[in-house]
Amino acid sequence: MKKTITLFILSIPFFSHASLTSQDIPKCEEVGDSIEQILDNRTKETGIDFSLKDVFVIKEKGQDKDSRSCYALLRTETYNKLEILYSVWVENRRYFVEITDANPIIDAETMA
């Protein structure tokens, strides 16, 4: 039930943006502050603590001329392992970050 609620809460896209000095799309590992801000905002909105504790993996899933697709495996206060997919793009000298999907990983370590 907790996983279903989390999937619903996290299925709504979250956005963040910041100013840039160029039109280059930031790399996946360069937008950590924006991801943390999105998670903190979601904590305030839902009451579920998504405060970022650790980042295990960050990978680029692909890039086209307008955006970069990324994957990250995180640890939050509520979830021992949370995988997210997010997009990064540039518009009007600002970059935007959107979490497009998030899933908690329920394994033996999480259950312990």
Q: pLDDT for 50-95, tens place per residue?
A: 999 999 999 999 998 889 999 999 999 988 999 999 999 998 888 9
Q: pLDDT for 6-15, tens place per residue?
A: 544 454 455 5
pLDDT of 16 reads 58
Considering only residues 22 and 89, tell me which one the structure prediction assigns the higher pLDDT.
89
Neighbour tally for 33: CB within 10 Å:
11
**Longest Cα pair distance anywhere in the chain, in angstroms?**
47
Average pLDDT, the chain: 83
> What CA–CA distance (Å, rounded) separates 74 from 51?
10
